[in-house]
Structure 1
Amino acid sequence: MATVILVRHGRSTANTSGVLAGRTPGVHLDEVGRTQADAVADRIAAAGPVALAASPLERCLQTAAPIAAATGLEVTVDAALQEVGYGGWQGRTIKELLDEPLWKTVQSTPSQATFPEGECLGDMAARIAGALRAHDAAVEAEHGAGAVWVAVSHGDPIKAALADALGLDFDLFQRIHVDPGSVSIVRYGSTRPTVLAMNTHAGDLAWLKAPVARPDDADVGGGAGPTTSPHGS
């Protein structure tokens, strides 16, 4: 049973301009985003990850670069971790998209939302869940059940992955919020996933090294927690 650290890329130039970047090439981290990427790398290095995968889009590769430098890992680029294919919505401002009839569907019943000439949100959810589980199984097979690894992706795919891990109906995934530069953590098991953290911004992750006595069982009553504080020293 490995553990994946899900990292949303740092803040990008599209984030601050209110544009839905999607898969548009040439969208880079801004100064804040680069600072966020460095901070995430410091947090993650303490967990001793054994593998690092990332979306092929520039903002994710720029976020993964300091993680790779801090951990000595090579970045495995995986197109299955990339952003939603927003099709005709790509490159448009959020302000103008608010008036599109599809906007209400995206908000209330995203499983029924297919972007014009683009991807169905339900298909995206299946794509990201399948990719993460495949990577996770490979990491566990090579490095053992206590291994920690990292996936750098985008807001909606990470939200979908967390909804899947929580067992939520996908139409509820908009209840989850994931900021640029944030870290969420999922431990996949043979019986069910466990969500260890969502949308966190601070604290080293050395506590993820702690062995788990019964990895497929929930701690009835909440358990004693890790011996190392998840908030760092």
Structure 2
Amino acid sequence: MTTFFLIRHAANDLVGHTLAGRMPGVHLNALGRQQAEGVAELLARAPIHQIFSGPLERAQETAQFLAKRMRLEVQTAEALGEIDFGDWTGLTLEQLAPVRQWQLFNSFRSGTRVPRGELALESQARMVVFLDRLRQQFPDQTLALVSHGDVIKAAVAYYLGIPLDLFQRLEISPASVSALVLEDYGPQILYVNRVAENAP
């Protein structure tokens, strides 16, 4: 049995209005740093053995708060990276709203490829394969994984048996924690989208 804490990175200046995607140089803002400290506090008593993070700065910086608390090193994993939003990277949600492909992407997520980007099913597959590999590599351990909203949603949807086209019904807030157990006989979701009690 392997327990996973799936952590969405904390806030930055682009959250909620711009599609940052894999854009480099997006760092936590002051609110995000407070939120990341809240994540570390929330998980302070958890018996975490390993910490993994996607490669982007906002994920790495969130992971570092937990790593400092746990006295562990952050291990970088490309599988935890954000969806490749291709030509949409850096566009605002206002700019994307009238784009037909964007509208399709949000209603038919499983079959709509981002222009010169990634299919959501591909991001789901890489996350699920990675989690299964970690389950086999670290049996009976508890792992913290810092990633991105849509990637975590896709993984949670998979283990709940929710079609990818409906995964927007799940809420994965910045600096939230979702807990998952993987055992030989199947998965168990312990909770979804938990935030620190005093989260800003």
TM tier, smaller: over 0.9
Per-residue CA deviation, residues 32-88 of structure 1 (Å, 9 max, x unaligned), is 100000110111121020000000000000000011000011111001100000000
Alpha carbons 2:50, 2:142 under 8 Å: kept: yes
| 1:150 counterpart = 2:144 | yes
One-letter code aligned to 1:61: Q
Partner of 1:54: 53
The question of whether the paired residues in 2 share the 8 Å contact of 1:51 and 1:139 is answered with: no
Structure 1: how far apart are the matches of 2:31 and 2:136? 34
Flag the structure with higher strand content.
2
Residue equivalent to 2:153: 159
Is the Cα–Cα contact under 8 Å of residues 2 and 136 in structure 1 kept in the other structure? yes
Structure possessing the higher radius of gyration over alpha carbons = 1
Count, aligned residues: 197
Deviation at 1:137, TM superposition (A): 2.1
Deviation at 1:103, TM superposition (A): 2.1
Structure 2: gaps spanning 5 or more residues: none
Identify the residue that residue 200 of structure 1 maps to in structure 2: 194
Residue of structure 2 aligned with 1:187, choices 157, 181, 185 = 181
* 8 A contact 2:105–2:114 mirrored in 1: no
User: Cα RMSD between the aligned structures?
Assistant: 1.1
Counterpart CA distance in 1 for 2:44 and 2:196 is 13
Task: Could you tell me which runs of 5 or more consecutive residues in structure 1 were left unpaired when the two chains were aligned.
Answer: 204-233
The 5 Å alignment of 1:1-233 reads 1-15=1-15, 18-140=17-139, 145=140, 147-202=141-196
Identity of aligned residues (%): 38
SS at match of 2:145: strand
Moved over 2 A (4+): none
**What amino acid maps onto 1:88 in structure 2?**
D
- In the alignment, is the contact (CA less than 8 A) between 2:41 and 2:196 conserved in 1? no
Q: Tell me how far apart the structure 2 counterparts of residues 7 and 69 of structure 1 sit (CA, whole Å).
A: 16
Q: Cα distance, 1:165 vs. partner?
A: 1.2
Q: Scaled by the length of structure 1, what TM-score is found?
A: 0.82
